[in-house]
Structure 1
Amino acid sequence: MAAASSTLFSFSFPFDPQIQTLSFPLSSAKPRFSPKPFSTFKLTSTHSSSSSSLTVSDDPFNTGRFLSNDELRRLRLLETFLYRCDLPSGGSLSVRVMRPHETDPTVLLLAASFAESMLLPQPYVKFLAFLVKQYLLDRRSLMPHTATLVAFYTQTAAAAADQDQEQEQEARLAGTVELSFDIRGANATVPSPTPPRDKPYICNMAVRKSLRRRGIGWHLLRASEELISQMSSAREVYLHCRIIDEAPFNMYTKADYKIVKTDSILVLLTLQRRKHLMCKKLPLLSTPPETDLSVSDEQKTM
């Protein structure tokens, strides 16, 4: 998490079925990156290391802290996770955990989506990108108790021909979503109504503007649920949806999410929109996780 001197801001995106709540810290540290334009990526296969240590500098999932054997195993599960599907509109989608070299494009996707939804001038994107960057780096250090997923869209040759576009087989960053699996990965500040800190939580979902209305948000949600089922023995998963956002609400309802609590009308006095806290009970896996990360290592030894 952020340092004690940092201030945490929470922003809510307006109407969009593929954008949820964004929360990130404001730090006094100097920017550690230079924003770059959206990039294209070539998907490559991932091979798990047989080493029991994550201190190797070229390890893309190095958290910078000592991990237990169970955390190492679950970190490797995150490394090999892959969700794939074909989209009805043409093209295919691959969803996996964000790699370090994909942080800057993901930051820009979130910052641009927020600035667009709040009608902020373009210069604000760089400032928002700085905030989001600090937040993602802090959250990354908490893996495997939390994870940021990224979705890559590949357009098929047939779909490109139908749209009179050049054929492009490279995967493009299409969307992102953040997950927390247990109390150790829970964010210190979340929107109201407050979800249980020891239960999985889905937030910070955004889809690239040019690729919206293709069902990418739906598959980001499905990929999130699939990974949560593998990473946590908890069956309930939570998310927020603003009352005014009819399309996201319909999407979550279609995915079997139910309202468990709604903001009081008094929340309007804080200049925030009223929100629903929604929950879904995931089906049991035939082979449940070996351990429950909602219990800390300290508690296990007691």
Structure 2
Amino acid sequence: MAAAISLSLPLDPQNLLCPCRLRPTTLSRPLQSRFFTRLSPIYKYPLTTFHREGLCSFKSSSSSSSSHSSTTPTTPTSSHHDDPFRTGRFLSNEELEKLRFLQNFLYFKELESGSLWVRVMGAEEMDMTIGLLAESFAESMVLPVGYVSVLKFLVRQYLMERKIQMPHMATLIGFYKETGEGGEEQEVQLAGTVEVCFNKMGANASPPTPTPPKDSPYISNMAVKMSFRRRGIGWHLLKAGEELISQMSSSREVYLHCRMIDAAPLNMYKKADYKIVKTDSVLVLLMLQRRKHLMRKKLPLLSNPPESAASESDTETFA
């Protein structure tokens, strides 16, 4: 199976490595600020502490096989959790409420071989996510190991720029804990990642072709660590993204790209009820790019939609 579940991405590794095709948004300096209003996140995850090395401390666990968005609140044990979701721009009250919702989102699933937790990436998990994406891109493009450091630099620029668009988009990360033999405690590790866009304000400035509607939700940059493939993690990253989109967007139509050569991901998307709506022209081969399918799925309506977090106030807060 390919390193990345879907490599037809806004963050196109082929464009990143060819200076003549670099997009302006790839190399521009991310918005920076000296002042940030700290939000006080409430962590409602079984994974209460994610250290820089990617290890986790457990205070509670769940044996439920269904996804959920909240558990018993716990108190962060590390000071770097004070403000992991700051965006560096002024947010309206509605955006602040949505940002807090993203902080508390959790998709949990018991798999045959272990447990999977999917949640929104915080600032302290960016480095490990960058490493996963860079290695996945290098593997899929059959690049020498030396190119990984170059990809890491470009992926970092991309993720920093995209983070400014929260809460109109989010990068999800999946942590996996393998079931040990004889009840032996296993280490929790980063297993995969996926990016979800909820609306036009979170849309990528230069999406790949065929171009999806900018005002529709979009799933991209999905990758699973090589050692954790064929365990259903890619499937549940997709489902976690769909669940979050259902709660954050009023649009039911979700789009994604899949390269024509990636047979396994294409079959997975078809199984998840995604339909091909358009395919790249053969002319893209002249640009040294892979042909891609644009796929679409209509999400079902929520039986119990969450109450709107919108505020009629025009007040803005810097976060």
Cα distance change on mapping 1:265 and 1:111 into 2, 3 Å? same
* Matching residue of 2:15: none
| Equivalent position to 1:97, from 93, 96, 120 | 120
TM-score (norm 1): 0.79
Q: Which has the higher contact order (CA 8 A, sep 6+)?
A: 2
Matched, 1:109 2:132: yes
Q: CA-to-partner distance for each residue in 1:61-97, whole Å, 9 max, x for gaps?
A: 1111111111111111101100011112x11000000
TM-score (norm 2): 0.75
* Matching residue of 2:275: 258
Matched, 1:39 2:63: no
Structure 1 stretches of 4+ moved >2 Å: 14-30, 37-49, 166-170, 286-293
How far 1:15 sits from its partner (Å)? Answer: 3.9
* SS of 1:217 mapped into structure 2: helix
Matched, 1:154 2:171: no
What amino acid is aligned across from residue 27 of structure 2 in structure 1? S
* Matching residue of 2:67: none
Cα distance change on mapping 1:101 and 1:252 into 2, 3 Å? same
Cα distance change on mapping 1:42 and 1:113 into 2, 3 Å? farther
How far 1:290 sits from its partner (Å)? Answer: 5.6
Q: CA-to-partner distance for each residue in 1:94-138, whole Å, 9 max, x for gaps?
A: 000001110000000000111111121112111100100111111
* Matching residue of 1:67: 91
What amino acid is aligned across from residue 238 of structure 2 in structure 1? L
* Matching residue of 2:193: 176
* Aligned residues of 2:97 and 2:309 also touching (Cα < 8 A): no
2-structure distance, mates of 1:104, 1:46: 28
* SS of 1:105 mapped into structure 2: helix
* Matching residue of 1:239: 256
What amino acid is aligned across from residue 128 of structure 1 in structure 2? L
What amino acid is aligned across from residue 146 of structure 1 in structure 2? M
Q: CA-to-partner distance for each residue in 1:2-39, whole Å, 9 max, x for gaps?
A: xxxxxxxxxxxx94572433444542769xxxxxx973
| Equivalent position to 2:300, from 283, 288, 293 | 283
How far 1:291 sits from its partner (Å)? Answer: 6.0
* Matching residue of 1:196: 213
* Matching residue of 1:21: 8
Matches within 5 A, 1:214-229: 214-229=231-246
Cα distance change on mapping 1:254 and 1:292 into 2, 3 Å? farther
* Aligned residues of 1:43 and 1:171 also touching (Cα < 8 A): no
Aligned length: 262
How far 1:277 sits from its partner (Å)? Answer: 0.4
How far 1:281 sits from its partner (Å)? Answer: 0.3
* Aligned residues of 1:235 and 1:282 also touching (Cα < 8 A): yes
Percent identity, aligned pairs only, is: 61
1-structure distance, mates of 2:74, 2:184: 33
* Aligned residues of 1:233 and 1:289 also touching (Cα < 8 A): no
* Matching residue of 2:289: 272
2-structure distance, mates of 1:48, 1:87: 24
Cα distance change on mapping 1:46 and 1:152 into 2, 3 Å? farther
